[in-house]
Amino acid sequence: MACILNREDRCATYRQFLNRHVDFPKSGGNNRIYCNRIMQRRGLTRPVCKLTNTFIHAPTGQVQAICRGAGRCHGRNFCDSNASFRLTTCRVAPGSRPGRCVYRARVQNRKIRVACNQRLPVHFERIL
């Protein structure tokens, strides 16, 4: 995916957001297998098992739109989506350890809050 921006650091932060939070179309597998696989594939199980992570199953353009008028912005840089998104939240199961992280999935259709920088999402804040 090309990121055509002036500043490389902003581009890197946006790419990091995409890696951590956008999976469209949703990768295959049942929900438990899905979380275990995607968390490992995306590098979220090392050096420690990330406790929780939410994936947005929508095209990047729809996620970007939250920061570009399709969201209600407030505070310094937070924007709430006007639309609901298909989401999968992966939560680490008790007893997990790096190299053997086990996750549980929760699937929802909800609005979200992201932090924006220069009209791009750079941080997933929470589900609304």
> Cα angle vertex 33, ends 28, 38, to 5°?
70
Catalytic one among 13, 14, 21, 53?
21
**Per-10-residue mean pLDDT, the chain, length 128:** 47 90 90 90 94 98 96 92 98 91 96 95 97
Catalytic status, residue 57: no
Establish if 118 belongs to a structural domain: yes
Round to whole Å and give the CA distance between 107 and 91.
11
The count of structural domains within the chain is 1
**pTM, to two decimals:** 0.90
Q: Is 33 in contact with 1 (CB distance < 8 Å)?
A: no
Q: Looking at the domain assignment, is residue 75 inside a domain?
A: yes
Q: What is the CATH number of the domain that holds 65?
A: 3.10.130.10
Q: Which amino acid is at 117?
A: N
Considering the candidates 68, 70, 123, 125, report the single residue annotated as catalytic.
Answer: 123
